[in-house]
């Protein structure tokens, strides 16, 4: 039987760092209940504190029968003057993991990027002048090594998330990351396509370095208009990240290669979005239920597992 497990994330319901101060976010218990009802086995943390802290976080996850898969920390890796503050932020996330008893959760490390990169996501694939210079990469490598060391000393194995709007977005930047560190990668199908990459090819090239998979689909027609009229904030707001199977990522081919490669970790469905003011939770919940059914219907190992259970 397959060891693949499927999780979701608060960002699929419009809850992430860019929206956490917005009014009207879903109640965390209602959000987790909808995840569990749709058949997800785990969740990512979302903004620190949203799902609770200390024992309250662990109790909430247990109440809904969900595993904490990981949690995001954004780090200004090429800016040494910020390392101390950012490592404190990472340490606080690790504290949440430990206090909740989530000892297998993965710290998801990401670069913080810059306003220019956020305004022009995807452009670095063709314009390397937007990327780090040699000195920037040396600082980046040192900063990442320090963050990875902190996580490992605390007993957690980190993964690194290539992400639109950051200095690790385009394929050539991911390749440089692979050369400069030993950290495993988060392969995010949607952010990779946005950054000018091919998820199928990256899986073939770096499959042995994949520690976590974020499953996304993206409509390139919406993406292009959003980038031209506001950058990453418009990408999220306009719904460029869409339900699985409705966009331009070659997901079925991707999963065929993932399964042949023997990946046996978590699949985290992430449909990054900013909800409308007053949007009912039911809209996002129904979309995530459809995403879960799509995976069962189109991912061989999950389909085969379902048949065995029957």
pLDDT at 262: 86
pLDDT at 290: 98
The 3-state DSSP class for residue 111 equals strand
238-277 pLDDT, tens digit per residue, is: 989 999 999 999 999 999 999 888 898 999 999 999 988 8
185-203 pLDDT, tens digit per residue, is: 999 999 999 999 999 999 9
Q: What is the pTM of this model?
A: 0.94
Q: Within 10 A of 48 (CB to CB), how many other CB atoms are there?
A: 18
Query: Of 218, 211, 215, 205, which Cα lies nearest the Cα of 186?
Result: 211
Query: Of 294, 309, 307, which Cα lies nearest the Cα of 249?
Result: 294
- Domain segments of the chain: what residues? 5-309
Cα separation, 4 vs 33, whole angstroms: 21
Q: Which CATH number fits domain 5-309: 3.20.20.150, 3.40.640.10, 3.65.10.10, 3.40.50.1100?
A: 3.20.20.150
Cα separation, 151 vs 83, whole angstroms: 14
- DSSP conformation letters of 231-291: THHHHHHTT-EE-TTSSSS-HHHHHHHHHHTT--SEEEE-----PPTT--HHHHHHHHHHH
Q: What is the mean pLDDT of the chain?
A: 93
Whether the predicted pLDDT of 14 surpasses 80: yes
């Amino acid at each position: 039987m397959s060891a693949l497990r499927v999780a979701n994330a608060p960002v699929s319901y419009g809850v992430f760092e860019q929206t956490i101060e917005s009014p009207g976010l879903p109640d965390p218990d209602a959000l987790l209940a909808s995840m569990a009802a749709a058949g997800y086995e785990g969740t990512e943390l979302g903004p620190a504190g949203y799902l609770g802290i200390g024992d309250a976080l662990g109790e909430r996850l247990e109440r809904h029968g969900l595993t904490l898969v990981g949690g995001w920390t954004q780090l200004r890796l090429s800016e040494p003057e910020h390392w101390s503050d950012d490592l404190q932020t990472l340490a606080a996330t690790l504290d949440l993991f430990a206090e909740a008893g989530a000892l297998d959760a993965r710290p998801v490390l990401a670069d913080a990027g810059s306003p220019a990169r956020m305004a022009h996501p995807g452009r670095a694939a063709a314009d390397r002048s937007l990327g780090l210079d040699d000195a920037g990469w040396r600082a980046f490598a040192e900063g990442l090594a320090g963050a990875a060391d902190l996580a490992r000393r605390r007993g957690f194995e980190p993964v690194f998330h290539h992400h639109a709007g950051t200095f690790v977005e385009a394929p050539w930047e991911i390749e440089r990351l692979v050369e400069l560190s030993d950290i495993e990668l988060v392969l995010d199908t949607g952010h990779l396509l946005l950054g000018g990459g091919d998820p199928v090819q990256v899986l073939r090239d770096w499959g042995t370095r994949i520690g976590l998979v974020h499953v996304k689909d993206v409509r390139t027609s919406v993406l292009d208009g959003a980038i031209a009229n506001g950058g990453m904030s418009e990408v999220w707001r306009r719904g460029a990240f869409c339900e699985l199977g409705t966009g331009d990522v070659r997901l079925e081919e991707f999963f065929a290669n993932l399964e042949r490669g023997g990946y046996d970790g978590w699949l985290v469905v992430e449909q990054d979005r900013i909800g409308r003011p007053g949007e009912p939770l039911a809209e996002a919940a129904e979309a995530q239920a459809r995403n879960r059914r799509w995976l069962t219907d189109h991912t061989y190992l999950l389909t085969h597992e379902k048949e065995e259970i029957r």
